[in-house]
Every structure is written in structure tokens, then in C-alpha cells.
Amino acid sequence: MGVLNVTPDSFSDGGRWVDPEAAVAHGLAMAADGADVVDVGGESTRPGAAEVPADEEMRRVVPVVAALAPSVRVSVDTRKPEVADAALDAGASIVNDVSASLFEVAAAHGAAWVAMHMRGTPATMQQQVDYDDVVGEVREFLVARAAKARAAGVSEVWIDPGLGFAKTADHNLSLLRRLDELVATDYPVLVGASRKSFIGRLTGEAPVGDRLEGSLSLAVWAMQRGAAMVRVHDVRATVQAARLVAA
């Protein structure tokens, strides 16, 4: 899954793809590099990010989704039902839902749904990092949401531990170390570690543009432990790694 942030403020690529033509070109380039899915987002979810009004988020994502959907499978990365609805109408077929609450919209469109674990909102999540057993609590939450989505009629349900969302670096590592416990649920697992700040923290504060090696090593780790998809900014390098893991 290649990341396409049509935002001015995303943590690693904010502002690069705000122009719709540049965004579409980048999405097509990721597909050509081997991405199976392009994940289009119009609102940053980095810690402390401000909320974007629904009409502005739609204005950012819908034309890009419509232009990409004939060429590659598209997911929409949103927390808002009206944005998910508009993007699915425009040709997206997956709702990538960091709020894990939009399964009814996915069901109404016959679309797939990704349930990601978070607490609170991006504005508040880093104050909510107390867990007794982060892996057990995340698994329990995701399985409960996934079961609700299945019951509502979503046939393709993914789960994602939400690395960096209401998690410390240690929590992220625990979730990666015990990823098999999520894989054992039998829901396909999506993992997004690409360029995240804990990679910087654990490698001597590598800046965001200098985290490719760390991102790749975590993608390989996740795939080897059974992740069915990884959400990444650097598609070409990750596809090469994925082909070797598969071989």
C-alpha cells in the first residue's frame, strides 16, 4: 500500500502532493513501482494535527481518487463518513479507517474496511498511552470491531495495530515483536511503520527524510511475521524487499 497524502501538513511528505496533478502522477508512479493499493488521504493524523473540515477534505481527495481508480486499487484514509462515502462513489474500494468506526459506510458500498487501533484523536492520542498489555488490548479491540463489521456485512475486513497512534516507541516494538498474535486472529493484518518517529528515536534521531533503511527493516520484519500488507512511502524499495521475502 503506497501512501499518497494530499495534505499541506503530513509529517513526512506534507505539501508535496497538494496539487491534484502531481498527486495523481505520484499515485500512478507508485502503482507502476508495484503498489497493489494507493492510499489517498486528505487529513494528516500526525500527533497534534488539527482537524480538516469535511468539505475541504473531500475537495482534496475525491478528484485524485477518481483519477486513480481506473488504474489501481484505491483506499481512502479518512475518519469522516461523508468523505469515505464520496471517495467510494468516486471509485475507491477500501476505507482505511484510523478511527475504526466507519464500517457501515464500507458495508453500504460493498467495500473493504481497515480497522486501525487508536485512542482518542490525533490531537489527544499521545496523552493516552497507559496499557497493562498493549498487544492484548489492541488485539481485543480490533477483533471486536472486525466482528461488528462482519456482522454489518463487510466481507473484506483488515486489522492494523496503529503504530504511533496512542503508542510509545516501546509499545510499537511490542506490537511488532508479537505481531503473530494479531496474525493468529485470521483477519489480514496491515502494518504502517514507514518513516514514523520511533524509527528516528531508536536510530539516533534520524530525520524523517532519512528513515528508509529503518522503514524497510520493519516492513520486512512485519511481512515475515505474517503481515498481509504494509503501508509505505517508499514503494519501489519495499516491493523489492517484499519479492525477496516472498521468494
Give 148: exposed, middle or buried? Use CB within 10 Å, 0-12, 13-18, 19+.
Answer: middle
Among 111, 135, 163, 232, binds ligand HH2 (CB under 6 A): 163
Among 2, 6, 10, 73, binds ligand HH2 (CB under 6 A): 10
Q: Are the beta carbons of 76 and 92 closer than 8 angstroms?
A: yes
**Which residues are marked as active site?**
196, 231
Among 24, 68, 106, 116, binds ligand HH2 (CB under 6 A): 116
Q: DSSP letters along 74-115, please?
A: EEEE-S-HHHHHHHHHTT--EEEETTS--HHHHHHHT-EEEE
Q: Are the beta carbons of 167 and 134 closer than 8 angstroms?
A: yes
Least Å distance, CB 104 to ligand HH2, is 18
Q: Are the beta carbons of 190 and 144 closer than 8 angstroms?
A: no
Which position's Cβ is nearest ligand HH2? 192
Q: Does 78 bind ligand HH2 (CB under 6 A)?
A: no
Longest CA–CA span in the chain (Å) reads 46
Among 17, 45, 62, 100, binds ligand HH2 (CB under 6 A): 45
Q: CB nearer to ligand HH2: give 11 or 221.
A: 11
For the beta carbon of residue 129, count every other beta carbon within 10 angstroms: 14
Least Å distance, CB 1 to ligand HH2, is 8
Residues that bind ligand HH2 (CB under 6 A): 3, 5, 7, 10-12, 41, 44-46, 77, 96, 98, 114, 116, 160, 162-163, 190, 192, 231
